Structure 1
Amino acid sequence: MSKPTLTISSKTYSAWSLRGWLLCRLAGLDVELVDVPNDASNRAELLLLSPSVLVPRLSIGKLSVWDTLAIAETLNELHPEAQMLPKDAAARALCRSVSGEIHSGFSNLRSALPMNLKVRHESFPIFSGAKPDIERIEAIWLECLQRYKGPFLFGKKPTVADAMFAPVTQRFLTYAVPMTAEIAAYCEAVTAWAPMAEWIALAKAEPEDIEELDVEF
């Protein structure tokens, strides 16, 4: 069988591509990254790869799956030994719930603080519409960190939830979002997570003239 592939867009700007990569690494799956630039000339190619025109897209043999939560559940089925979800049923339910929440919500945060792994602002004006999103995310993180004692959301080991929230930690760091010590420690723990550090290095090596995405693929 050929090596699994993960079709992605920009490593610098694409939060969804980052999530797909982290989920594969969380499962212990070694994948080949296939870059598809997100511009109009590549729309037809993206449609052939994924009917939803979304990346990431994971291909393992004849299996093809897109959408990050679908990728997470597929990898969890294929690699149960990786324990991508917590063992405890209540923790597992919470993990799935908060992962679903970040997957479908927080549109104001996405618009106000787009992911950009190449910059760090010392200060940045955050418009009022994004503040409820930030407050809700911090509430989720604090609930999990205090209940499961960190350094990750569900304890000592990263889970699907950490992969889903990883781009948000980088947004907080990029735009100097004011944080408590506990929240800042979590953001730094995710940044130091080996596959996250590897992705950041790959992003910094991308060409400087790459176009920032108009929409977050």
Structure 2
Amino acid sequence: MSKATLTISSKNYSSWSLRGWLLCRMAGLEFDEKPVDPDDPANRQELLLLAPSVRVPRLSHDGVDVWDTLAIAGYLNEIFPDAGLYPDDIKARAHCRAVSGEIHSGFYNLRSALPMNLKARHASFKIFSGARPDVARVKEIWADCLSTYGGPFLFGRPTIADAMWAPVCTRFRTYAVELEDPLQAYCETIFDWAPMREWTEAALAEPDAVVELEVEF
């Protein structure tokens, strides 16, 4: 197999880039990172959802171009079936797909109210009322998974679900969202996860000249 290329945006701000990058690391895919400049007008249109299609992250591999994090996960699962991106049990796999799809397609108020910013840390933060049901739903999903599968990851071991929910862990830390002990322990597991540490280190070293995006993506 030829070496792949993963097109990503800011490591500090781009939750979707983080998800795609984690999936590639989990699959064991060798890839080069191709960062895009968020200040370039064309790229900025994509990142702010003003373009007809959003293609960051984008994985290029063996003549295949695939974007959208769930599509990337599906492709990686096909070419690396032994990587364990999904749980082994059919019921757990269905559950994993459901909670991964839910964060992929929903939680707009949470995204808007608590944009990803790994460099920021608030001692306290008032979440506007429209986002509170989203926060409550996140807690419900995590608590259900952790109690059902025993932790420390959502389905026991790392799966696509953890890649999809990892940016939410960072948001909760950035904006001082209070969590019950098992949920806080889950976030600490994510923060201590080797690929997450690698990403975070690079995000913190990212030049401050990167302009914060006005809309979470």
Q: State TM-score, norm by structure 1.
A: 0.94
Contact 2:38 2:44 in 1 (8 A): no
Distance 2:135 2:54 in 1: 28
Q: Which moved more, 1:173-182 or 1:52-61?
A: 52-61
Corresponding residue of 1:58: 59
Corresponding residue of 1:172: 172
Q: Which moved more, 1:103-112 or 1:29-38?
A: 29-38
Structure-to-structure mapping, 1:1-217, within 5 angstroms: 2-43=2-43, 52-155=53-156, 157-217=157-217
Distance 1:44 1:149 in 2: 41
Distance 1:199 1:43 in 2: 21
Partner secondary structure for residue 136 of structure 1? helix
Partner secondary structure for residue 131 of structure 1? helix
Residue type of the partner of 2:30? D
Partner secondary structure for residue 82 of structure 2? helix
Gap regions ≥5 residues in structure 1: none
Aligned-residue CA RMSD (Å): 1.8
Distance 1:145 1:208 in 2: 36
Contact 2:121 2:175 in 1 (8 A): yes
Distance 2:198 2:127 in 1: 29
Residue type of the partner of 1:170? T
Residue type of the partner of 2:110? L
Distance 1:56 1:94 in 2: 24
Distance 2:180 2:60 in 1: 40
Gap regions ≥5 residues in structure 2: none
Deviation of the 1:120 alpha carbon = 1.4
Deviation of the 1:119 alpha carbon = 1.6
Q: State TM-score, norm by structure 2.
A: 0.94
Instruction: Give the ranges of 4+ consecutive aligned residues of structure 1 lying more than 4 Å apart after TM superposition.
Output: 44-47
Deviation of the 1:46 alpha carbon = 6.6
Q: Which moved more, 1:32-41 or 1:16-25?
A: 32-41
Distance 2:44 2:171 in 1: 30
Distance 1:54 1:194 in 2: 26
Deviations along 1:64-99, one digit per CA (max 9) or x if unpaired, are 100000000100011011010000000000000000
Distance 1:45 1:3 in 2: 29
Contact 1:16 1:216 in 2 (8 A): no
Q: Which moved more, 1:199-208 or 1:34-43?
A: 34-43
Cα–Cα, structure 1 residues 186 and 44, in superposed 2: closer, same or farther, change >3 Å? closer
Distance 1:41 1:88 in 2: 45
Identical counterparts, % of pairs:
62
Partner secondary structure for residue 206 of structure 1? coil
Deviation of the 1:160 alpha carbon = 0.3
Deviation of the 1:122 alpha carbon = 1.1
Q: Which moved more, 1:117-126 or 1:35-44?
A: 35-44
Residue type of the partner of 2:185? A
Cα–Cα, structure 1 residues 51 and 4, in superposed 2: closer, same or farther, change >3 Å? farther
